[in-house]
């Protein structure tokens, strides 16, 4: 029995040994399978839990003024993320977040109800909202560094610059037109998270490396500010509907400012009516009224008429078919110089009759009317200049003094600048250069001559006429600046009726366009005031604004007064200034 017992024990030991060997073999085989055959799949599974790939976008490039002052830039912001797998109650979490962030609660709840380790809740939230959410201490909700578009000067040049949406994509203005240049590059990167789903290695430097290009404008921040300030005062003083003011260098076509009122803050663009977003100086056309007369006079001079050529102005009333043309003040015989000085509608019509439809049309077209200037701003209008073979007699007369033709503000000032620039039309410049994130100039823009519209002689003769406009008895006397020879032209355009033929007797557009000094003109300025109340003549409403912007800009640019004849005479007597 002892032998049988020992035999049984031995068999059990052998069985256990065999069993242990088998178990060890199976464990080794399983371990081998895991480490060798399943290693790749298991590694990916682990990485899916604690690492994944997201697409990040580089910081948006800046928009700068001509002196490299920031007009649009990017600042650090907070983006809110979630680890849905860690959220115990998606309904409550979504409810709390949607209330603060203004997100649809059901959409957010669906996003937070998945078993994923990562999800975006909202990108680039304001600091106050981020802080409010942080105080809630919600499980599975995290805060990541990001960048957000910021406009440090608030409303300054807002209609030029435009703005971006929540995804940092341009929606209006230069932000929209040059979005492909400004937006940063995209990159798909691998991120790791901690055990709670928070991102461990979203490198801020990587965003900097993907930064977009920057745009340097011809705009001067100081002159833009002076223009906006003066325009606001003018619109409010005359209780007008709106206003525009443009400042340009006639010799280069560089635009130093484009001001609008009402204004808006692009940092909070949703708080404003979207009708004020656009750059109306480029996108909107209007009838220029008497400001068009200088171009009619220029055409006449080119066809051989002299500044002292005289026309009978019918003592203030002139019939063309069934239509009657009126002058504000009655005149008999006036020279072309006087017709421009006193802004005679009838005299201008007589000039147009003398040169004919084709000549007038072709010179207006050469000055750029009826065609886009191709300025670097979206939505430009070409205005309206109908072909001369479709003109009636009244069309010719009306167009000669600025009715029946429509222009944009940038077109009108470009034409005026051509007269200041010895008859040479320049392409309006809004952008100086595009610069890479490393500071390298990728593209530089230079002044571009479109054409020689009129001769230097004719341009000088028109300048002399425009200088007479600001004389004591001229229509633009309120634009005169002591020490400078100012050249300008008033415009008071009746607005066309919207739902009927003809023109309103109560709604006007008040205009003053001009430049200074007469010789070697430094600046050309256009002021347009829409629907001023009570006073509405361009000489009363727009001319004083022109004067203020020009005088302050000259002071800022250190453009010294000219040595006028009275000053020279005074010095010659030995008297002190």
416-473: per-residue pLDDT in tens?
999 999 999 999 999 999 999 888 999 999 999 999 999 999 999 999 999 999 998 8
**Is residue 209 domain-shared with residue 266, that is, in the same domain?**
no
SS3 state at 250: coil
- Give the Cα separation of 404 and 79 in Å (integer): 54
Q: Is residue 232 part of a domain?
A: yes
Q: Is residue 265 part of a domain?
A: yes
Higher per-residue confidence, 418 vs 20 = 418
Query: Sign of the CA dihedral 408, 409, 412, 414?
Result: negative
Count of domains for the chain? 2
pLDDT for residue 115 = 75
The answer to whether 71 touches 64, Cβ cutoff 8 Å, is yes
Q: Is residue 209 part of a domain?
A: yes
As a whole number of angstroms, the longest Cα–Cα distance in the chain is 155
**Is residue 212 domain-shared with residue 272, that is, in the same domain?**
no
Residue 330's contacts (CB-CB under 8 Å, 6 or more residues apart) are 313, 315, 316, 317
**Is residue 340 domain-shared with residue 452, that is, in the same domain?**
yes
pLDDT for residue 570 = 40
CATH number at residue 469: 3.40.710.10
Give the pLDDT confidence of 499-513 residue by residue, as tens digits.
778 888 889 999 999
pLDDT for residue 55 = 61
Q: Residue 572: pLDDT band by 50, 70, 90 thresholds?
A: very low
The answer to whether 292 touches 401, Cβ cutoff 8 Å, is yes
pLDDT for residue 152 = 95
Pure H helices in 194-244: 204-209, 221-237
Catalytic site includes residue 290? yes
Q: Is residue 13 part of a domain?
A: no
CB count in 10 Å sphere of residue 275: 9
Question: Tokens 């996108």 — which residue?
Answer: 283
Cβ density class 15-36: b for 16+ within 10 Å, e for less: eeeeeeeeeeeeeeeeeeeeee
Q: Are strands 170-172 and 163-164 parallel, antiparallel or unpaired?
A: antiparallel
Give the pLDDT confidence of 150-184 residue by residue, as tens digits.
999 999 999 999 999 878 889 999 999 999 999 87
Q: How far is CA 179 from CA 149, 150, 164, in A?
A: 13, 15, 9
**Is residue 258 domain-shared with residue 162, that is, in the same domain?**
no
**Is residue 213 domain-shared with residue 315, that is, in the same domain?**
no
SS3 state at 446: coil
Higher per-residue confidence, 338 vs 572 = 338
**Is residue 312 domain-shared with residue 450, that is, in the same domain?**
yes
Which one, of 73, 80, 71, 69, lies nearest residue 59 by Cα? 73
Q: What is the mean pLDDT of residues 188-197?
A: 54
State yes or no: pLDDT of 54 exceeds 70: no
Give the pLDDT confidence of 258-289 residue by residue, as tens digits.
999 999 999 999 889 888 999 999 999 999 99
pLDDT for residue 101 = 81
Which one, of 558, 563, 481, 471, lies nearest residue 515 by Cα? 481
- Give the Cα separation of 79 and 19 in Å (integer): 58
Give the pLDDT confidence of 484-503 residue by residue, as tens digits.
999 999 999 999 888 778 88
The answer to whether 243 touches 90, Cβ cutoff 8 Å, is no
Residue 538's contacts (CB-CB under 8 Å, 6 or more residues apart) are 289, 290, 291, 475, 476, 490, 491, 492, 510, 511, 512
**Is residue 354 domain-shared with residue 292, that is, in the same domain?**
yes
Lowest mean pLDDT among 34-48, 374-388, 462-476: 34-48
Higher per-residue confidence, 57 vs 366 = 366
Question: Tokens 């929209």 — which residue?
Answer: 176
- Give the Cα separation of 110 and 99 in Å (integer): 16
State yes or no: pLDDT of 4 exceeds 80: no
**Is residue 172 domain-shared with residue 307, that is, in the same domain?**
no
The answer to whether 31 touches 183, Cβ cutoff 8 Å, is no
Summary mean pLDDT of the chain = 87
Q: Distance from CA of residue 139 to its chain's centroid?
A: 43
Give the pLDDT confidence of 303-341 residue by residue, as tens digits.
999 999 999 999 989 998 888 999 888 999 999 999 999
pLDDT for residue 328 = 87
Q: What is the mean pLDDT of residues 218-245?
A: 97
pLDDT for residue 186 = 65
pLDDT for residue 56 = 65
The answer to whether 185 touches 198, Cβ cutoff 8 Å, is no
State yes or no: pLDDT of 200 exceeds 70: no
Query: Among residues 217, 246, 275, which one ends one of the domains?
Result: 217
CATH number at residue 93: 3.90.1310.10
**Is residue 379 domain-shared with residue 244, that is, in the same domain?**
yes
Q: Residue 33: pLDDT band by 50, 70, 90 thresholds?
A: low
**Is residue 145 domain-shared with residue 161, that is, in the same domain?**
yes
pLDDT for residue 6 = 66
SS3 state at 120: strand
pLDDT for residue 503 = 87
Write out 267-282 in H/E/C secondary structure.
Answer: HHHHHCCHHHCCCHHH
Catalytic residue selected from 290, 377, 406, 414: 290
State yes or no: pLDDT of 239 exceeds 90: yes
Q: Distance from CA of residue 443 to its chain's centroid?
A: 20
Lowest mean pLDDT among 193-202, 203-212, 383-392, 474-483: 193-202
Query: Among residues 217, 238, 268, which one ends one of the domains?
Result: 217
Please give the backbone phi and psi of residue 15, each rounded to the nearest 5 degrees, phi first. Answer: -60, -45
Structural domain of residue 135, as residue ranges?
52-217
Query: Among residues 160, 192, 217, which one ends one of the domains?
Result: 217
């Amino acid at each position: 029995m002892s032998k049988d017992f020992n035999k049984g024990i031995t068999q059990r030991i052998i069985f256990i040994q065999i069993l242990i060997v088998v178990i060890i073999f199976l464990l080794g085989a399983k371990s081998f399978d895991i480490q060798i055959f399943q290693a790749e799949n298991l590694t990916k599974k682990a990485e899916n839990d604690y690492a994944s790939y997201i697409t990040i976008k580089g910081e948006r490039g800046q928009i700068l003024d001509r002196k490299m002052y920031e007009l649009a830039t990017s600042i650090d912001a907070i983006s809110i993320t979630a680890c849905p797998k860690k959220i115990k109650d998606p309904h409550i979490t979504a409810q709390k977040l949607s209330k603060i962030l203004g997100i649809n609660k059901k959409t957010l709840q669906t996003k937070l109800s998945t078993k994923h380790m990562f999800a975006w809740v909202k990108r680039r939230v304001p600091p106050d909202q981020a802080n409010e959410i942080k105080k809630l201490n919600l499980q599975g909700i995290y805060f990541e560094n990001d960048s957000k578009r910021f406009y440090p000067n608030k409303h300054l040049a807002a209609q030029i610059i435009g703005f971006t949406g929540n995804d940092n994509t341009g929606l209006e203005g230069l932000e929209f037109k040059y979005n492909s240049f400004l937006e940063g590059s995209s990159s798909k990167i691998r991120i790791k998270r901690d055990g709670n789903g928070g991102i461990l290695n979203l490198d801020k430097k990587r965003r900097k490396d993907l930064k977009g290009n920057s745009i340097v404008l011809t705009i001067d921040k100081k002159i833009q500010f002076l223009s906006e300030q003066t325009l606001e005062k003018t619109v409010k003083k005359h209780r007008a509907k709106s206003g525009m003011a443009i400042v340009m260098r006639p010799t280069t076509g560089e635009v130093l400012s484009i001001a609008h009122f009402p204004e808006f803050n692009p940092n909070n663009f949703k708080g404003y009516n979207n009708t004020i977003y656009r750059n109306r100086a480029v996108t909107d056309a209007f009838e220029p009224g008497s400001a068009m007369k200088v171009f009619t006079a220029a055409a006449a001079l080119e066809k051989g008429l002299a500044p002292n050529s005289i026309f009978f102005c019918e003592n203030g009333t002139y019939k063309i078919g069934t239509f009657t043309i009126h002058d504000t003040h009655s005149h008999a015989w006036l020279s072309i110089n006087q017709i421009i000085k006193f802004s005679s509608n009838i005299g201008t019509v007589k000039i147009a009759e003398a040169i004919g439809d084709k000549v007038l049309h072709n010179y207006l077209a050469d000055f750029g009317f009826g065609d886009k200037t191709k300025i670097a701003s979206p939505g430009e209008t070409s205005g309206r200049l109908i072909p001369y073979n479709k003109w009636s007699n009244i069309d010719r007369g009306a167009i000669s003094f600025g009715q029946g033709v429509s222009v944009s503000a940038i077109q009108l000032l470009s034409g005026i600048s051509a007269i200041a620039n010895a008859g040479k039309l320049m392409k309006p410049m809004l952008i100086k250069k595009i610069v890479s994130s490393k500071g390298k100039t990728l593209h530089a823009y230079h002044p571009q001559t479109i054409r020689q519209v009129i001769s230097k002689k004719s341009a000088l003769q028109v300048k002399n006429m425009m200088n007479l406009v600001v004389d004591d008895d001229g229509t633009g006397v309120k634009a005169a600046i002591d020490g400078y020879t100012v050249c300008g032209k008033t415009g008071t355009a009746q607005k066309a009726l919207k739902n009927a033929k003809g023109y309103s007797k109560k709604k006007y557009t008040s205009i003053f366009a001009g430049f200074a000094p007469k010789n070697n003109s430094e600046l050309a300025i256009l002021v347009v005031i829409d629907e001023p109340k009570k006073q509405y003549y361009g000489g009363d409403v727009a001319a004083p604004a022109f004067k203020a912007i020009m005088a302050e800009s000259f002071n800022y640019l250190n453009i010294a007064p000219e040595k006028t004849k009275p000053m020279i005479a005074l010095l010659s007597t030995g008297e002190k200034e």
